[in-house]
Amino acid sequence: MSPDEALCKLQSYTSSGVPFVSLYLNVKPRRDGKIEFDRIKEEAEFYLKRFSGDTFSQACLEFDLGKIVYCLQSNLKPETKSVAIFACAGDNGFFVPLEFTRPITRNQLSVGEMPCLYQLAALCQTEELAGEQLEVIAGSVTC
């Protein structure tokens, strides 16, 4: 799936009232070989606490975050520099991972009723303005 196709699919998403996770992350490993994921983990803990009164939403969010971590740890291509991952377990397991060969503007974790599309839209616009094809490595990988 290309970034433009993903953007169209995500723009037409209808909220089901459960948490929708949007993650933008540069995945170039640090010197120790690990992805810089600490701040994102802290934000994930914040969101999990926010949904602590809603057992179903919290379970969906935990599932999504676990699936994202698994995807990041086991399925990335060596040439991947950044990812955009969209997930909503409470909506029939909605999961769209995109891998890019160039870095993104900034790392961001967003949890709400709708996908956070600003960075993806900016990537698509940059691609269009530059007249170059943004290489997506594994947009339809099932993690």
Report pLDDT digits (tens) over 27-83.
877 677 677 777 788 888 888 888 888 899 999 999 999 999 898 888 788 888 889
Determine the Cα–Cα distance for residues 94 and 89; give it in Å rounded to an integer. 6
CB atoms closer than 10 angstroms to residue 73: 12
How much is the pLDDT for 101?
82
Q: Which amino acid is at 76?
A: L
Q: Is the pLDDT of residue 128 over 80?
A: no
The better pLDDT of the pair 64, 1 is held by 64
Mean pLDDT over each residue of the chain, to the nearest integer: 81
Share of the chain above pLDDT 90, in %: 28
Alpha carbon separation from 128 to 123, 125, 134 (Å, rounded)? 9, 5, 9
What letter would DSSP give residue 136? B
What domains lie within the chain, and their CATH numbers? 3-130 (3.30.960.10)
Residues 6+ apart with CB under 8 A from 33: none
Tokens of 140: 């339809």
Residue 88 predicted with pLDDT over 80: yes
- Residue 2 pLDDT: 77
